[in-house]
DNA sequence: AATGAATGAGGATTCATTCAT
DNA sequence: TATGAATGAATCCTCATTCAT
């Protein structure tokens, strides 16, 4: 979608631009982001933005997709497909949390696709955002039902939906002022969310899911070793 | 927060104004909503808006809080505090779904408080939005632990957090284009979300929660009869 | 120019209205004065202002003329026409200074008639503002030339013009931020203008004029006694 | 205070803009001047004004200061500091009158700084406006007392104050509708102020001052020859 | 006569996008 | 290709005045 020109500029410059754009869009929201300020922060001329992208909307879309790609890389990049679902989920949550700490901007942008007035973006992005994760979760769940690690009566689609829902709320709580406050309210945490509190919450959530997935008669299956 | 003048105008006019404001804010988002268009849709003069509210921001805040009140009334208004947690949750989810159908605008506005650039609003509203539900859920859970309806080893704060998280995702899926698409993707639903599909999803989610809360040894407790 | 209704309201209310109007016009200037705020300060309804006056412009004109009348009363009201020009001038300057202290608003409004954008008012008021003083000064000067108190070669019109010019600058220095600062700059006065400094300046100015008017050969004529 | 952009546009365009701005501000006053109309008169887009200046207020301030500089240049630019005070005063009054004829707008703007509601501007400009002239007048007077051209008992600060007061009233009478009318009223001039009448008034005023400054025993000193 | 809600023209400022250099 | 000045539609808010009660 961006113009060819974008590929011709120095990678460092391109990185800087995309990174500043993501931060600014996350900070201000789409409408409140000023192309002039963006250009200035990125150290390029305002007009140059229009050499690289057709419009603000294209730029936003590109940044959002770029963020999605980075997020996916961060979360799934080092995930071994052979791990069982429990190992994968713990990995996913932990990498998600780490990514949220490093690049809250991309998660904020993701969360924003569901905002009022962002329907044009939702129409273009939602499916591609969700499909990968949905397919992955379902495939692993199905496989691990087959392996006897997950209870056989599980409704896989529902399970994937619920698990991902908890993941969304979890990462949202790490990057959104509102969701962070909500989490602290529910969990009665005073002050800022510490790294330890996040790790604790992560483990509790994964444990919750483990319990939900595990075959009923026995205890939860042992955590599979990875690397 | 609104000016006194707002109380002095005819109720029908006030209703119309607040209702159109909610719809427009939900449709366009805060920044893209034009006060002139709002006035025109509400059938009042632009200047009149400023007789009722100090600013666009005050108006938005009032509409958001008004929506919260309506939503709470719709969801909790006819809830009998004596019902057990399972009956209450089913009621809450069902009333939430009905309210989402009747007034998606208020839920959309609620979801928007967590959007980028809405921090000023989040700072003012988040706590009051979440506290009521958090306190209520925790109280009922604690009571029903005491009654033996809920397993005693339950971490009540965590449970309340997770239950409400599922509720948020559930209603979001009914009002947001993005979340609706996401739900259809996960659940492999073709076309629009039918009322029946929503009811089905509602029951599955409540059942999931019931299972999670129920004392382990026995089956899930029977659904409590209400009137 | 005001409507008849103005005469029918209680004098105290009318006084309050005119007084608040003068203060507000002086404080903010004509354009920046808000009829709503004026009404509120005066303790009347906004609509009532339009029962008393056709428009903001009429109101302003009335207040300005009213101020002129008060100022003239304060300055000339107790002046004995039989006093010589020197006694009269000292009286005028002193009463002018006292009036400036009591009612700076009216002098400020007078000074404003010469502001940019106030030509419509200048067209209506300037002559009536200036004619009285001009005629009076010239008459007394002419009389006192006849009495041998003022040098016979005096150009009476010029003298009246210059004397009044000094008077204008003198009172402007008492009520206008700019002219006060200018006076302090020229006279090298630190801090606020004290009452004593004003009296000193008054006497110096009157003495200057006395010297200018006095017949050349002799000393300045003795100050005429008045009750 | 203006933005850098102002320096980067073509001088003719900048001149046109500043000149139209001065005229419009002088014609309408600050508040009544519409940025859109200004842009249109200056032949630039409305938005461009905001590329040059942060705000209307900054623009006004710049125009006012620019006018002050031009006025000072016109009046003092060709003044030889070696001239005696009488030659200098005649030069100042004459150049002032000429400048008032060429650029009444700048003098009108100066007079406006003392208007009601212009205190924010007065606070920023008054001292810089008055200090130069005050210092200059006092210095020349002191020097010429030393040279025996001015009577030694003169209170120099007072004299400077009075002389400048007469100058202000003189130029105000050339540019302000109100002061022009006042002058015609005092001097009983019918119709417009002719150039000859202005020159006559100028000479009379300077003669008045000469008489006031001259050492008492002798006649006024002869007019000093310059080039 | 008094009130204050209603009106809408007006006006400062913003900002995505264009385009000449 | 890079730049940033130019543009003008868009938008929040003000306020003199009207008019129904």
Distance CA B177, CA A126 (A): 9
Q: Is B80 contained in some domain?
A: yes
Distance CA B201, CA D207 (A): 101
In chain B, residues with a C-beta closer than 8 Å to the C-beta of A158 are 187, 204, 208
Q: Is D130 contained in some domain?
A: yes
Q: Is B204 in contact with A118 (Cβ distance < 8 A)?
A: no
Range of the domain at D179: 65-213
Distance CA D30, CA D143 (A): 41
> Strand E and chain D: which residues 28-67 have CB closer than 7 Å?
33-36, 46-47, 50, 55-57
Distance CA D149, CA D155 (A): 14
Q: Which chains neighbour A (Cβ–Cβ under 8 Å, 3 or more pairs)?
A: B
Q: How far is CA D17 from the centre of its chain?
A: 21
Judge whether A125 and A64 are in contact, CB under 8 Å: yes
Residue C5 or A43, more confident? A43
Q: Is D177 in contact with C208 (Cβ distance < 8 A)?
A: no
Measured between CA atoms, the residue of chain C closest to residue D206 is C162
- pLDDT 10s digits, C152-178: 999 999 999 999 999 999 999 999 999
Helix (H) / strand (E) containing B212: helix B195-213
Query: Across the interface, which of B108, B126, B172 has its CB nearest the CB of A181?
Result: B126
Read off the tokens for C129: 């503002």
Q: What is the DSSP letter of A31?
A: T
In the prediction, which pLDDT does B87 show?
Answer: 97
Judge whether A122 and A60 are in contact, CB under 8 Å: no
Judge whether A183 and A189 are in contact, CB under 8 Å: yes
A176 to chain B, closest Cα gap in Å: 6
CB of A135 within 8 Å of a chain B CB? The answer is no
Contacts of C79 (CB under 8 A, 6+ apart): C88, C91, C92, C95
In the prediction, which pLDDT does D181 show?
Answer: 94
- pLDDT 10s digits, B50-66: 999 999 999 999 999 99
Q: Is the pLDDT of residue C53 over 50?
A: yes
Chains D and C touch (3+ CB pairs under 8 A): yes
0.75 exceeded by pTM: yes
Distance CA C206, CA C204 (A): 6
> Please, what sign has the CA dihedral across residues B134, B135, B141, B142?
positive
| Phi, psi for residue A164 in degrees, rounded to 5 | -65, -35
- Of B135-149, C12-26, D118-132, D143-157, which gets the smallest average pLDDT? D118-132
In the prediction, which pLDDT does D227 show?
Answer: 44
Read off the tokens for B18: 């607040």
Q: Is A4 contained in some domain?
A: no
Helix (H) / strand (E) containing A40: helix A35-42
> Strand F and chain C: which residues 88-147 have CB closer than 7 Å?
none
Tell me which nucleotides of strand F come within 7 A of a protein CB: 1-20
How many structural domains compose chain C? 1
Protein CA D56 to sugar C1' E21 (Å): 29
CB of C164 within 8 Å of a chain D CB? The answer is yes
Distance CA D166, CA D148 (A): 24
The candidate with the shortest Cα–Cα distance to B156, out of B75, B88, B212, is B212
CATH code of the domain containing A179: 1.10.357.10
Lookup: nucleotide whose C1' is closest to D9 CA: F5
Count of CB pairs separated by less than 8 Å, A with B: 145
Measured between CA atoms, the residue of chain D closest to residue C28 is D117
Contacts of B183 (CB under 8 A, 6+ apart): A161, B173, B189, B193, B201
Q: Is the pLDDT of residue C88 over 70?
A: yes
CB of B190 within 8 Å of a chain A CB? The answer is no
Q: What is the residue-averaged pLDDT of chain B?
A: 93
Q: Is strand E within 7 Å of residue B8 (CB)?
A: yes
Q: Is B2 contained in some domain?
A: no
CB of C68 within 8 Å of a chain D CB? The answer is no
Q: Is strand F within 7 Å of residue A212 (CB)?
A: no
Distance CA D181, CA D190 (A): 10
Q: Is C7 contained in some domain?
A: no
In the prediction, which pLDDT does C124 show?
Answer: 85
Measured between CA atoms, the residue of chain C closest to residue D161 is C186
Q: Is D204 in contact with C155 (Cβ distance < 8 A)?
A: yes
Q: How many CA atoms lie within 13 A of A26 on its CB side?
A: 23
Helices marked H in chain C — which ranges?
5-8, 11-28, 35-42, 46-52, 56-76, 85-102, 104-112, 119-146, 156-175, 177-187, 195-213
Q: Is A108 in contact with B127 (Cβ distance < 8 A)?
A: no
Cβ density class D186-200: b for 16+ within 10 Å, e for less: bbebeeebeeeebee
Rg (CA), chain D: 20
Q: Is B169 in contact with A168 (Cβ distance < 8 A)?
A: yes
Q: pLDDT tens digits, chain D, 227 residues: what are they?
A: 789 999 999 999 999 999 999 999 999 999 999 999 999 999 999 999 999 999 999 999 999 999 999 999 999 999 999 999 999 999 999 999 999 999 999 999 999 988 998 988 888 888 888 999 999 999 999 999 999 999 999 999 999 999 999 999 999 999 999 999 999 999 999 999 999 999 999 999 999 999 999 997 644 444 554 44
Say how many C-beta atoms besides its own lie within 10 A of residue C11's C-beta.
8
In the prediction, which pLDDT does A119 show?
Answer: 87
Q: Is strand E within 7 Å of residue A32 (CB)?
A: yes
Q: Is B1 contained in some domain?
A: no
In chain C, residues with a C-beta closer than 8 Å to the C-beta of D159 are none
The residue whose two tokens read 């009075």 is D162
Contacts of C94 (CB under 8 A, 6+ apart): C202
Quote the percentage of chain B above a pLDDT of 70.
95
Contacts of A152 (CB under 8 A, 6+ apart): A145, A215
In the prediction, which pLDDT does A227 show?
Answer: 44
In the prediction, which pLDDT does D14 show?
Answer: 96
- pLDDT 10s digits, B104-127: 999 999 999 889 989 888 888 888
Q: Is D96 contained in some domain?
A: yes
Contacts of C221 (CB under 8 A, 6+ apart): C84, C86, C149, C210, C214, C215
Measured between CA atoms, the residue of chain C closest to residue D22 is C116
Q: Is the pLDDT of residue B77 over 80?
A: yes
Q: Is C86 contained in some domain?
A: yes
In chain A, residues with a C-beta closer than 8 Å to the C-beta of B172 are 114
Helix (H) / strand (E) containing A106: helix A104-112
Distance CA C59, CA C14 (A): 12
CB of A111 within 8 Å of a chain B CB? The answer is yes
Q: How far is CA C165 from the centre of its chain?
A: 12
Lookup: nucleotide whose C1' is closest to A45 CA: F3
In the prediction, which pLDDT does D123 show?
Answer: 83
Q: pLDDT tens digits, chain A, 227 residues: what are they?
A: 688 888 888 989 999 999 999 999 999 999 999 999 999 999 999 999 999 999 999 999 999 999 999 999 999 999 999 999 999 999 999 999 999 999 999 999 999 988 998 988 888 889 888 999 999 999 999 999 999 999 999 999 999 999 999 999 999 999 999 999 999 999 999 999 999 999 999 999 999 999 999 997 644 444 554 44
The candidate with the shortest Cα–Cα distance to A71, out of A30, A111, A24, A29, is A111
Quote the percentage of chain B above a pLDDT of 90.
86
Lookup: nucleotide whose C1' is closest to B3 CA: E5
Q: CA dist C31 to A63, B220, C60, Å?
A: 49, 75, 10
Distance CA A31, CA A55 (A): 13
Count of CB pairs separated by less than 8 Å, C with D: 147
- pLDDT 10s digits, C182-216: 999 999 999 999 999 999 999 999 999 999 999 97
CB of A55 within 8 Å of a chain B CB? The answer is no
In the prediction, which pLDDT does A123 show?
Answer: 84
Q: Is D30 in contact with C116 (Cβ distance < 8 A)?
A: yes
Protein CA D11 to sugar C1' F14 (Å): 36
């Amino acid at each position: 979608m961006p113009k060819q020109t974008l590929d011709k500029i120095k990678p460092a410059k391109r990185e800087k631009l995309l990174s500043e754009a993501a931060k600014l869009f996350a900070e201000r929201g789409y409408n409140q982001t000023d192309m002039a300020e963006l250009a200035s922060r990125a150290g390029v001329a305002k007009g140059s933005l229009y050499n690289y992208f057709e419009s603000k909307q294209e730029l936003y879309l590109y940044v959002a997709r770029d963020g999605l790609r980075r997020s996916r890389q961060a979360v799934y990049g080092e995930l071994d497909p052979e791990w069982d679902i429990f190992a994968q989920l713990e990995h996913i949550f932990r990498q998600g949390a780490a990514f949220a700490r490093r690049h809250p901007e991309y998660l904020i942008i993701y969360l924003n696709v569901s905002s009022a007035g962002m329907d044009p973006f939702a129409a273009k992005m939602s499916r591609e955002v969700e499909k990968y994760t949905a397919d992955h979760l379902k495939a692993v769940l199905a496989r691990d039902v087959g392996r006897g690690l997950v209870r056989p009566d599980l409704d896989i689609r529902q399970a994937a939906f619920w698990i991902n829902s908890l993941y969304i709320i979890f990462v949202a709580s790490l990057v959104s002022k509102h969701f962070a406050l909500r989490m602290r309210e529910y969990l009665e945490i005073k002050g800022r969310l510490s790294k330890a509190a996040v790790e604790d919450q992560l483990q509790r959530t994964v444990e919750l899911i483990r319990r939900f997935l595990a075959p009923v008669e026995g205890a939860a299956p042992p955590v599979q070793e990875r690397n």
